[in-house]
A and B are shown apart, each in its own frame.
Chain A
Amino acid sequence: MALNRDFIGRAYSSPTPYEVSRLKIKEFAAAIGDANPIYRDTEAAKAAGHPDVVAPPTFPIVFALAGAGEGLNDPEFGLDWAMVVHGEQRFTYDRPIYAGDQLLCTSTISEIRSVGRNEFVTVRGDVTTLDGEPVCTSFNVIVERGGAK
């Protein structure tokens, strides 16, 4: 069944701010096998000119879809998660993410297109501080295999 095009343009906000912790950054860096001290040692990060430990470039995936789940999981949308694969991912960064940041994410279902038998859904995530300062933008393309038939 094709996905419900009425959802294009709908926006969802993360229910609570995401608080970036040193421990989570350290855990994420360990999981991707990156031994860079700037991810786990505050003194090393400060020596490199940063206010605190820095998050790796792909770290925002941890929270960037938190709000979008409300829309993507809506039965009216028609998405079969068992058939979903990650198609594309892009991040643009306005500034680095640091431990101690409190971040909000607004996710918008920005595009749905059919390619062959598959449905491609683009979810844009605008990540800001509590004051509205832009931090990064996530573009997530998920593919529902066979969804367009």
Chain B
Amino acid sequence: MGATVKWDEVEQGQQLPPAEYHVERVNLVMYAGASGDFNPIHWNERFAKSVGLPDVIAHGMYTMAQGGRYVTDWAGDPAAVVDYGVRFSSMVVVPDDEAGATISVSGLIEEKLPDKRVIVVLTARSGDARVLSKARAVVQLA
């Protein structure tokens, strides 16, 4: 149990390798079922457009989960994340085709904290939009 990344081996300001996560409508249907959030803006194009949205949009929590996945894959253990917060700054629009949408995530070691912890600040984009802001995780490293 614990992160595989060593605190001594990371530096403040260090960039983490970027990752891309593909999202199609089926992923949002699965997320609706798994999370219990059945708001139709996340699966019903007719409804989404009727409330002024460009198309079906991903759950904010789906996008937050991709950022979480990015951090846990980097750290090597989900239990290493001790604090994770985001602001939802823009929508991830998911068209009804195989191309779907792409969420591009990158990270930076913003600060090294005592007790072998670090603050990782995340950037998440979809198309031209920055979809998360103030996205930060505190990670317990080895």
* Chain A contacts to B: CB under 8 angstroms: 24, 27-28, 30-34, 36, 38-39, 48-50, 54-58, 61-62, 82, 85-93, 95-96, 139
Contacts and interface: CB of A to CB of B under 8 A. Distances in A.
Given A89-B86, A139-B85, A50 B35 contact: no
5 contacts: A36-B73, A38-B78, A58-B84, A92-B83, A93-B84
Nearest to B36: A62
Contacts of B21: 33
A139 B119 CA distance: 18
Interface in B24-47: 27, 30-31, 33-36
Contact of B68 (A24, A58, A96): A58
Interface residues of B, number: 37
Interface of B: 1-2, 21, 23, 27, 30-31, 33-36, 51, 59-62, 64-66, 68-69, 71-73, 77-79, 81-88, 134, 137
Contacts, number: 104
Nearest to B29: A31
Contact of A89 (B33, B60, B77): B60
Nearest to B69: A34
Cβ-closest 3 pairs across A and B: A90-B85, A49-B1, A31-B34
Contacts of A32: 31, 34, 62, 65-66, 68-69
B31 to A, nearest CB: 4
Given A31-B33, A48-B77, A86-B60, A93 B82 contact: yes
